[in-house]
Structure 1
């Protein structure tokens, strides 16, 4: 079982025991379902985008139960939403139906998106990519986006990023068997500054021990088992990573620079008003 599949199964098992509004508060930190994590960025970004059609096509990666997809559909976008968890897609479809919106939802692992298929005017990643930890899987996501984004399209990325206030670089854990060195992050978690990989200890999830131990990619450091949890790059490293797949950033947003608009490098696509900056 892939580590990101395990985590999201758990999330939606919890959701089934909660009301949608309570789930939204727990998950997105807002006051209701519509106050989701990337809303402020989308409100800042969407008016700046130029499209030749009044109803551009949009793909949301890691759509969950669909607050971002609904936000786009309510503004005239023809929306497709991908998510790994069937329960999330089922709920997203129900919500869209209740709101009278037509959204094409599909169960899809974002690391396995086919390169052939419809191309989109807009692709949105609302805190999905930080759940994809390892570089090989992240490469698959970025290469798929490159293949499925129209030449004049926009790629909007929001990602949890490295925060120095959570990092204790002067406190190290050295694995006795391998010599691998990790920093302490969030008090008792491990952070590998050479890769930006972040690991949580197994004992944080006592009710899930059997499920987690069956996951791929767990690590054992000095007899303690850890699970891969996030990839926390700072915004400069994140932009460089996305840029290595042929994109360039033209707008950045957020307290930590965690959200950006990208375009295909050299496409000449502009914003309204046009705002380019040097990284």
Structure 2
């Protein structure tokens, strides 16, 4: 099983079976105020026009679809994708309940899935930090470049390095930004450290490291904000 699969398949199976709304419902300290108050809502409200006017959006790692439904309600034409069928099942239910027309699709962006034609916006609401391996991040960010129209924007909200953060039993690699978590030997990418197997679980970069990574894939940061620099808007490099 790939390093990014188990956690997400298990989490969305629980969300679906327990009738929950979104990922943050599983974590009391991060809990939001219902389906429509997803984690990146304030950022999207600030960075995307109030009325989409039919502008096209591809959101990857959409989870249960809170951001996708929000953008569709503001007039955007939204195609949203997630790796996990349970997440897409819930997303389709929530969109139907709201009378919204969103194209939800199961797909793995690390394995080449994506939109069928270029879009005006590519949106990531806290997915990128779970894509850890260099080859997977390269596949995704190269994809973002291809998926965007020439004047399109990449709107990214991602978890970042936080000075002084306590990782508990996990290990943080300062040089790479990789967070390693105790795991089994059979997990893809697992490493034996001090007689314990660890698997990559998150990538928490500094603001500078994230900008450099995006630039290597042809993406120019035009705005970077948020408490730790994890709210980013990019355009294609000219």
State how far apart, in whole Å, the 1-side matches of 2:16 and 2:95 are: 17
TM-score w.r.t. the length of structure 1 is 0.79
Root-mean-square deviation (CA, aligned residues, Å) is 2.0
> Superposed, which structure 2 residues align to 1:56-205 within 5 Å?
56-114=55-113, 117-166=116-165, 186-202=167-183
State how far apart, in whole Å, the 2-side matches of 1:140 and 1:82 are: 16
Which of 47, 50, 75 matches 2:49? 47
* 2:34 paired with 1:32: yes
Structure 1 residue runs of 5 or longer lacking an equivalent are 167-184, 203-211, 267-279
CA shift, 1:238, in A, is 0.7
Which of 205, 220, 227 matches 2:192? 220
TM-score w.r.t. the length of structure 2 is 0.92
Give CA deviations for 1:132-180 in whole Å, capped at 9, x if unaligned: 00111100000111111100100011110011111xxxxxxxxxxxxxx
CA shift, 1:13, in A, is 2.1
CA shift, 1:7, in A, is 1.0
State how far apart, in whole Å, the 1-side matches of 2:7 and 2:192 are: 19
Query: Which has the greater radius of gyration?
Result: 1
Give CA deviations for 1:254-278 in whole Å, capped at 9, x if unaligned: 1111111100112xxxxxxxxxxxx
CA shift, 1:196, in A, is 1.3
Moved more, 189-198 or 152-161: 189-198
CA shift, 1:24, in A, is 4.7
* 2:213 paired with 1:241: yes
State how far apart, in whole Å, the 2-side matches of 1:62 and 1:90 are: 14
Give CA deviations for 1:176-224 in whole Å, capped at 9, x if unaligned: xxxxxxxxx513321222211111123xxxxxxxxx5432111111211
State how far apart, in whole Å, the 1-side matches of 2:78 and 2:193 are: 43
CA shift, 1:20, in A, is 2.2
CA shift, 1:116, in A, is 7.9
